Structure 1
Amino acid sequence: MLTSAQQNLPSGQNASRDPDLQDLVGNLIQMPSFFGGPRSLPGSLSGELGDMQASMKRRLKQLEGLRDLQKKGYPVSDSSLFLDEKAPDGKKIEGALRDLKNLQGKDFGANGNRDDLEKLSGQFDGLTAAELDVFVTKASPQDLSHYNKLINDTDDSFWTPFDKNGLPEDQRRDSLSKMLSKVGPGNIAKFAKAFPGIQPTFTNTDAYEQGGNSQNGQTNNGIHWQAPPDPLFKDGVSSDDVSQNQFGDCWYVASLTGLAQKDPQFIQDGIKENPNGTVSVRVWDKQGNNHWVTMTADLPTDKNGNAISTYGNGETWPAYYEKAFALTYSESGDDERGYGGIEGDDPKKSAPYLTGKEGDDITKDSGFLGLGTSDDKDLGSLKKAFDSGKVVTVSTPDDESLDKDHPKQWGQTYHSNHAYYVRGFTNDGDVILGNPWGTSGYPPITVSQEDFNKYFQGPQSFDVP
């Protein structure tokens, strides 16, 4: 704008008297590059203004498209009014509704229904946020639930054992996550009811069945889903923010906390809040492919509004990482999914889901072909792994007698049948361990080689991307 104004002013007059703004005026006479002259001044806003203009045009077309939809009787949500996307197409919405309804009573043939469902899920994925919101508004709950039943049924039929039914879990999760991230806030409850798999269960946890966590002594009643009042981040990512609370997944939380200590930016880049209030977390599958898992914003909470799941110090990013893991961790089988399915396991098993890389036992080099002994307790081996940039975790034996027979200076931080992460080492070579229950009330403990041999076991590590 300043350049255009300058071009239309008489010679000697400036488009602005402000020297800072005057510096933004582009070249009035473009110099060919072979003369060595710049095409525009370094401070030119031409690129930014062009992007802004294009965005404004898209938003205007979006408004015009929504107005046309409303005239034709389509329900339009206020949340769709100012989206920066291409204008909605009523024909795409009607096509998706028609194809969804046609699933009822359809005979899919001997090859199963996977090809039909893949086509339909691709159709849903291709809808803009405004189109998807109208689609979910107009779709009947019965049609949506029937689609959910079909995509989850991957069993072969009795007659044709080579057919393919349903959608594989990664495809199913990707499609539902993409849809959930775009649907309007007013339709999230309807979507969640039709697709209950987007919410992990907590009724199979000790915290629900026994009323708390017997190890750290936390108790509760009235567990229910509730949206938290705190933001994703308050002051960035810190390992000191993490508190495991009441679910028995110390092995995962120890790995998460160790990763937050080693690379807080990696954690922060792996989570985002969507415009509709849902949250997406980056998770890897067993093949090393990353996916964005979208979930509703509510979290397990007791009747007094206190967090039950892993939480932060006034921030929620640890809770959503844990919720995404509860949705995707599949080592226990489909009958043990959710928060109960992530209770009590091996810390290195969480590494592939957090980083896409396998975790390993720390072994001491024997000097013969690089082989070593598993479950090595040499603190020098732990320090070598830690100093190389790896996240290092250790466990404690399943021996309750150790809860009373341990150094008094460790206080309540030490507990049997538990996982810890390495925070560092002293100048004397002792290891400093952090408890995933959080630093408040459970300060880090310093452990000598002698005490480590008696009270700890199973050192493991994984690479930070």
Structure 2
Amino acid sequence: MRDAGGRWKGSDAERFRSDWESTHSALLAKVIQALADAGRAAALHADAQERASSASCHGSAAAGPAGSPGNAASGPAARNLPDRTDHSVPRHPERGRPDLTPKELHRLRNMVSAAASGGNFLAGNDADVNRLREALAALKPAQLDQLLASLNDDELRQLGAGAAGDGKGWFNSEGTTPFERQQLLDQLLSKASTEQVHRLKDLIPWAQPDGTAMGDPARPEGADPSTTKSWMEPRFPVIGERPSADDIRQGQYGDCVVLAAAGAMINADTGWAREHVTDNGNGTVSVLLFDKNGHEQWVTVTSDLPANSKGAQMGAKAGFGGNWPAYVEKALAQVYTEDDSNDGTKEGTPPDQAWQPGNYRAIEGNWGPDVFQYLAGPDITRTTAADDLWEAARQGRPALVTTLVDLPESPPNGYHTSHAYFVTGLDPEGNLLLQNPWGSHYPVLTVTPQEFEDKYQDASVAR
């Protein structure tokens, strides 16, 4: 029997509801939990297998020459990922027409020549580099291709060499900063045709960072250094249909702070990845980062990623919401200037050094506020006070937490020393929830205010 609203009523209905509430719902909840546990176990096993297979050859010769594509689908975890359409927001949707006049082309070619020359000891070529960048910013993609086609290989090599210098002169102490250099490269790479992108990558060495790794010392098996210089072209999209914090899956690089910061940003704003990372459709990817003046600037890199000795992605792994974390790594490696020589290294390997922009090793083992400012802007607060961190979590602000160097007494399951986690919120009891950037299948840490002050080093909070 059903009532006027179509709901089942009567003694049979009441008996079913009673059985459901007392027995069936509990059994279903157990099944759901068992499936979730099995999924996490499978993901952990896949991660362990992938690390073991790459560790067996770390430090060996590269699987292929630099720039050669690898097998993007290798590794158990990768085979579980769907091949989806990219959902990037295009930066340059209209290519325009190659309609530069001979006079305009001549003017631009002269600007290229001035930027390529560092011979002016009074002024350097810093201003020339910036003038060229501003001129390129006004061009449509088809016009840029017209200019690039008019330049021979030697002219492009000289431009790369000139922009790679410090740009300083007698009256210019700062010179060309890494961000200014990358802004010039951004205008070239983000708009160029695929053919010209390959040409620029071949002729400008600093268009590609050094992909070697110190490794992640926080892993239970220790750091896994790599000297491979192989690159691969991933098949998974840069931006999937629904990017989320579950896409954060740290790879072989010891850059937990970078991935924790990225996780904190997308946890606070689910649209962050789509607004800050985009596939340009020409073999390049652009990432929007903050420069030292607190201004957002696009950093454009080629779409290939460092490969381990088995040909799989060495950095952050693709998630169901896309491969965007790997490009945050790559773009940051191109402009990061905060590295120091205080990172620990594996026994028997050379001591750490301060790596310059253009090296993945520069983004390994760094301090929370230093990294966070590139993703969230300069307004970063470091705190050891639980009240400050809990208030930030209640407000939904991005935050990451770092653990102690030495293992504390009675550490919770999933606690790793010298590691960074990102805040995902508060549970119903008011405890802080921390996600491991190694992946959402690792244990979530539930932290009380007293535990934070006793067992954690500090927190970095963004506005």
| Common fold by TM > 0.5 | yes
In 2, the alpha carbon distance for the partners of 1:356 and 1:163 equals: 27
Deviation at 1:308, TM superposition (A): 1.3
Aligned position for 2:155: 143
Aligned position for 1:332: 339
Aligned position for 1:341: 362
Structure 1: gaps of 5 or more residues: 1-81, 363-374
In 2, the alpha carbon distance for the partners of 1:438 and 1:346 equals: 20
| Structure 1 position 276 matched with structure 2 position 288 | no
In structure 2, the CA distance between the partners of 1:102 and 1:171, relative to structure 1 (3 Å rule), is closer
Aligned position for 2:145: 133
Aligned position for 2:219: 215
In structure 2, the CA distance between the partners of 1:104 and 1:183, relative to structure 1 (3 Å rule), is closer
Q: Are the counterparts in 1 of residues 232 and 312 from structure 2 also a CA contact under 8 Å?
A: no
Deviation at 1:325, TM superposition (A): 1.4
Deviation at 1:177, TM superposition (A): 0.2
In structure 2, the CA distance between the partners of 1:116 and 1:283, relative to structure 1 (3 Å rule), is closer
Q: Are the counterparts in 2 of residues 351 and 358 from structure 1 also a CA contact under 8 Å?
A: no
Q: Secondary structure at the match of 1:245?
A: coil
Cα deviation digits, residues 242-286 of structure 1 (max 9, x gap): 111111111121121011111011332112111313111111112
Aligned position for 2:428: 427
In 2, the alpha carbon distance for the partners of 1:449 and 1:104 equals: 56
Task: Name the aligned partner's letter for residue 255 of structure 2.
Answer: D
Aligned position for 1:178: 187
In 1, the alpha carbon distance for the partners of 2:229 and 2:129 equals: 36
1:28-39 map, 5 Å: none
Q: Are the counterparts in 1 of residues 394 and 426 from structure 2 also a CA contact under 8 Å?
A: no
In structure 2, the CA distance between the partners of 1:302 and 1:354, relative to structure 1 (3 Å rule), is same
Q: Secondary structure at the match of 2:405?
A: coil
**Residue-pair matches, total:** 353
Correspondent of 2:214 among 206, 209, 213: 206
| Structure 1 position 266 matched with structure 2 position 272 | yes
In 2, the alpha carbon distance for the partners of 1:281 and 1:155 equals: 24
In 2, the alpha carbon distance for the partners of 1:99 and 1:452 equals: 56
In 2, the alpha carbon distance for the partners of 1:297 and 1:139 equals: 24
Q: Are the counterparts in 2 of residues 213 and 247 from structure 1 also a CA contact under 8 Å?
A: no
Aligned position for 2:50: none
Task: Name the aligned partner's letter for residue 276 of structure 2.
Answer: G
Aligned position for 1:350: 371
Task: Name the aligned partner's letter for residue 355 of structure 1.
Answer: A
Structure having greater relative contact order (Cα 8 Å, sep ≥ 6): 2
In structure 2, the CA distance between the partners of 1:118 and 1:242, relative to structure 1 (3 Å rule), is closer
Q: Secondary structure at the match of 2:440?
A: coil
Cα deviation digits, residues 77-115 of structure 1 (max 9, x gap): xxxxx9641442251345544664577889647443344
Task: Name the aligned partner's letter for residue 215 of structure 1.
Answer: R
| Structure 1 position 287 matched with structure 2 position 287 | no
In 2, the alpha carbon distance for the partners of 1:139 and 1:190 equals: 11
Instruction: State the identity as a percent.
Output: 27
Q: Are the counterparts in 2 of residues 236 and 268 from structure 1 also a CA contact under 8 Å?
A: no
Q: Secondary structure at the match of 2:288?
A: strand
Deviation at 1:444, TM superposition (A): 0.7
Structure 2: gaps of 5 or more residues: 1-92, 341-353
Over aligned residue pairs, what C-alpha RMSD do you find?
3.0
In 1, the alpha carbon distance for the partners of 2:295 and 2:174 equals: 23
Q: Mean Cα displacement is larger for which, 181-190 or 168-177? A: 168-177
Task: Name the aligned partner's letter for residue 325 of structure 2.
Answer: P
Return the TM-score normalized by structure 2. 0.68
Deviation at 1:313, TM superposition (A): 1.5
Q: Secondary structure at the match of 1:292?
A: strand
